[in-house]
Structure 1
């Protein structure tokens, strides 16, 4: 099944490359539009707050009278297949598109994005997040640039820690012990409780244990990619992961990392791990002021400020600790790249919008909303509160997935979701890793 899926992905990649090469005249089509152009931008999930979307729309339309900007939100789930379809069609493609940093190499190599090498210095140059830049580069040409990053940190309920007599951990081993102790104590009295919310398919968080112990998902040996889940370092991390699955969580084994704050808000988990912008999704019942979503009155704003202050008083945050005290774990560097699709008929307007995204004002707004800006020159906009500090500490050694041309094939085939679910279900880590390594190698080669 994996080989069939990979072949389909490869076919679409070839299709996009062919269309990018022979599809002509994006700029000519724009020049002949006669004004009144509607530009479309895709953002993924709720990570880009409405305030930022409104700023982009207002700024773009102010700079381009008569033109309009429509921002469409895409679900992360199934995004790769939607991109494969839309980016190959002038009729369906957006004009500016957010793509996950792990998906960027596949579409970049496929020729799905326009060359923006000449914009590199204007967008931030060497101040851009370089790991993300490399994910958007082919040889010496640049096709995608970093939109934002968000290294994962651990959120916890202070009252549940106190009730269970647990201290904030300073090492990865202490973290596991704390999660197990919280699970056993069930301080919230819930029928189903997790010391650490850790669904079985959550490889985004799980790979931190592999990375921190010196393991990896894959590496290139000569001209071939090989899976490395079977390496001694990866196996050491997987043993720790399996312990957490077995003794520290009641999260479903067949669920992924989506919305971990929901059980946290419901009192069903003492800890969860997510990018630090998840602070805005924490909504504890005892803090909720009952403000209607469409109420924009000054009184509503005051109540929401009180609500957020209450949530943050009862919630703590810390970077997942590493092997020794004072060092953070090597977590997965979440985040996105942003690119101009090659099939967009509005190339110049899309470049103008990209410049707005990398303006000082917008980059600062990203930081103020808990997102690490694509241009690190504006990282101070994150602030100096505990959430900003946790984000910076977590980002120190944060790591991307392997920069393989076909890494999106691995994600589309859900190889890692299936593998981690097997580990959560009690499978032998060595046997499961050997099988997954072969699937990864088949997909990447």
Structure 2
């Protein structure tokens, strides 16, 4: 560990390291991040870091999820060096680490306590036991629902619901005259938008992207059932314009009281139960991601938004200091002190879920951890598969293929084609691109 890095790490403990940092040369870190609530909160909290490190200036590039992925992928693949810290997902970390595009985080300070990271999350961000990204927050997926609407409609949502149960509840809670929609799901195209949800849903239906010979399976009855039921749910009980709705749009709809149910990332729980932003904060229940009747697989995904340092950055020491600070236990404590324990970044640290104050403030804590621990990323389908990943296929080609298929399925949701035509197009597109990439390898 370099002397400079040791000096900068004082920020991790939020200590008064300004006098040490001030002796260093001025540094500007360019940080690419996603425009979701937790990351925006992080930007608002960085005064403690810059106060302890007055020589470091933070420059933010905040982007919508699909745009962020496109720009950081292009930059790192071309060794562009535009960014010093990247916000990337669980999908990219092992693939980019294997390409030697990321800086190993093997020299984080002892008080960072790497062993406190939730094992499933730490393993997902490591290659050969070396950590290549630090998790800012982690998530699985679950059902969030209006308990008041469910009660008024006379329906019960169990802790481990089936899709049959979810469909019946969506029908019962829909009141289009009152602009209340029984269910809100992702429709915006993108491998990490609608295809994250639909891949998880397909897993719960017993489907798979590829068989063991890497042949696409969109012509299977399981995928036919998945897409048909998804379109039925959204067309009959979903909001208008759903093909444009991603995580942020559905979050807003739920907070406004317009969704009976929303099945999405567990990280949303703190936002839908925040009385300052959510009109339904006091009437939200939680359940596991549904499964299809007769299929023993709830389709839980595992995802983390992480901070990583591209190997091309010329400001490694300062970047490591920032990453260590932003993903530390001390940062979590600082958020809790400022905004309450419910707002603490979830899913990354075991100590958070052992904290009685967090357990009391976050009624979703136990369900979140249960969902994360239940994720089967090594074998996401009940059928035999040649790939890993929960809501994605962990191969480099998936980013492009998943986006193309996502565009096709979004077009079906918008009424531009039938489910049958969308599945046929997905089968053709995926087979062509996989052959072009040389699969099976």
User: CA RMSD, aligned part only?
Assistant: 3.9
Verify the 8 A CA contact 2:144 2:262 in the aligned structure 1.
yes
Measured in 2, the distance between the counterparts of 1:211 and 1:168 equals 21
Corresponding position of 1:14 = none
Q: Unpaired runs of 5+ in structure 2?
A: 9-22, 189-193, 376-389
Give CA deviations for 1:160-183 in whole Å, capped at 9, x if unaligned.
323332222433321122112333
Task: Look up the match of 1:272.
Answer: 262
Deviation at 1:196, TM superposition (A): 0.7
Compared CA separation, residues 39 and 314, structure 1 to 2 (3 A)? same
- Alpha-carbon spacing, 1:267–1:339, altered in 2? closer, same or farther (3 Å): closer
For residue 87 of structure 2, what is the aligned residue in structure 1?
98
Alpha-carbon spacing, 1:421–1:199, altered in 2? closer, same or farther (3 Å): farther
2:166 paired residue among 175, 200, 213: 175
1:23-422 aligned at under 5 Å gives the runs 35-59=25-49, 61-62=51-52, 64-87=53-76, 93-119=82-108, 124-125=113-114, 127-129=116-118, 132-133=121-122, 136-137=125-126, 142-169=131-158, 170-183=161-174, 186=175, 189-190=177-178, 193-201=180-188, 202-218=194-210, 221=213, 225-252=214-241, 254-258=243-247, 259-279=249-269, 281-282=271-272, 307=276, 311-323=280-292, 329-363=298-332, 365=335, 368-369=342-343, 371-380=345-354, 382-384=358-360, 385-398=362-375, 399-411=390-402, 413-419=403-409, 421-422=411-412
Mapped partners of 2:239, 2:172: distance in 1: 13
The total of aligned residue pairs comes to: 386
Relative distance call for 1:89 and 1:57 in structure 2 (3 A) is: farther
Once structures 1 and 2 are overlaid, which stretch shifts more, 316-325 or 354-363?
316-325
Check the 8 A contact 2:112/2:329 in 1, yes or no: no
Superposition deviation, residue 136 in structure 1: 4.5
What TM-score results when the alignment is normalised by the length of structure 1?
Answer: 0.71
Equivalent residues of 1:98, 1:337 under 8 A apart: yes
Work out the CA distance in 1 between the residues paired with 2:405 and 2:166. Answer: 27
Check conservation: 1:194, 1:268, Cα contact below 8 A. Answer: yes
Give the distance between the partners of 2:221 and 2:293, measured in 1 at CA.
19
Instruction: Give the drift of 1:274.
Output: 2.8
- Asked whether the 8 Å contact 1:56–1:356 carries over to 2, the reply is no
CA offset digits 1:145-201 (Å, max 9, x no partner): 433212222222333323332222433321122112333xx1x633x5521113544
- Look up the SS of the partner of 1:205 in the other structure: helix
**Deviation digits for residues 184-222 of structure 1, max 9, x if unmatched?**
xx1x633x552111354433323332112332334664x
How far the C-alpha of 1:67 sits from its partner, in A, is 2.6
Displacement after TM superposition at 1:341 (Å): 1.0
Structure 1 gaps, min length 5: 1-26, 284-304
Change (3 A) 1:230 1:109: farther
